[in-house]
Copies of this chain bind each other. A is one copy, B any other.
Amino acid sequence: MTIEPELCRVEDALGILVGKWKPIILLLLLKNGTQRFSELKRKVPEITQKMLTKQLRELEDEDIIERVVYPQVPPKVEYSITEYGKSLEPILAAMHEWGTKHTLHKQQKLEQESM
């Protein structure tokens, strides 16, 4: 296996996770299931509507999440992780595990430096 195709596959996965708000959106949906636009907005107040919409659309375009519009007024739109999207969980789990170790690693480094 040369490096090139391997790189592409890695970057495919990375491309889907990258975006200032995508990880938290995915974690929220994975954890709490189907949620309305306004619920997500409420749980991540720092995000602007424009950004929330944009990140949701991008995830939807990749079939990671599903968008269901109810024909009501005021509008109701629900988002949920697709079965396919759930396949990202091992990656997120691996990152979470690594990140936890990394936090320790950084702390130890700081302690060393201060001695």
Which residues of A are interface residues toward B (Cβ below 8 A)?
3, 6-14, 16-18, 23-24, 27-28, 31, 43, 62-63, 84, 87-88, 90-92, 94-103, 105, 109
Contact = CB atoms under 8 A, between A and B. Distances in A.
Contacts of A27: 3, 6-7, 10
B90 A94 contact: yes
Copies in the complex: 2
* Main SS class of interface, A: helix
B99 A9 contact: yes
A23 B28 contact: no
A14 B10 contact: no
A70 to B, nearest CB: 25
Contacts of A17: 14
B24 A3 contact: yes
A94 B96 contact: no
Contact of A63 (B3, B96, B105): B105
